[in-house]
Amino acid sequence: MGMFDYLRSSYDLGEQFTNVTCQTKDIEEFGIGGSMTEYWLDPAGKLWYPCYIGTNTFETIEEDDPRYSEKHPFLNFEWIPTGEHGKYKHHPITKYIEVYPAEWKGEWKDWPTLRLHFRYGIIQEFTDVTGRHESRNGYKVGETIKQEKTSNKIKDLLS
Going residue by residue through the chain (159 aa), what tens digit of pLDDT does each one get? 567 889 999 999 998 899 999 999 888 775 555 678 899 999 999 999 998 888 999 899 999 999 999 999 888 899 999 999 989 999 999 999 999 998 888 877 788 899 999 999 999 999 988 854 443 334 444 444 555 444 555 556 555
Do residues 60 and 125 share a domain? no
Do residues 79 and 46 share a domain? no
Do residues 113 and 144 share a domain? yes
- Interior CA angle at 88 toward 123 and 51, to 5°? 120
Task: Give the pLDDT of residue 34.
Answer: 62
d(CA 121, CA 141): 25
Do residues 62 and 135 share a domain? no
Phi, psi angle pair for 28, to nearest 5°: -80, 150
Do residues 101 and 147 share a domain? yes
> What are the helix (H) ranges across the chain?
134-137, 150-158
Residue finishing a domain among 68, 84, 100: 84
Q: What is the pTM of this model?
A: 0.68
Do residues 62 and 20 share a domain? no
d(CA 79, CA 66): 17
d(CA 90, CA 58): 27
Count of structural domains, the chain: 2
Task: Give the pLDDT of residue 148.
Answer: 47
d(CA 51, CA 37): 10
Do residues 105 and 135 share a domain? yes
Task: Give the pLDDT of residue 122.
Answer: 96
Which domain does 61 fall in, by range?
56-84
Task: Give the pLDDT of residue 16.
Answer: 87
| Nearest residue to 24 (alpha-carbon basis) of 1, 58, 48, 53 | 1
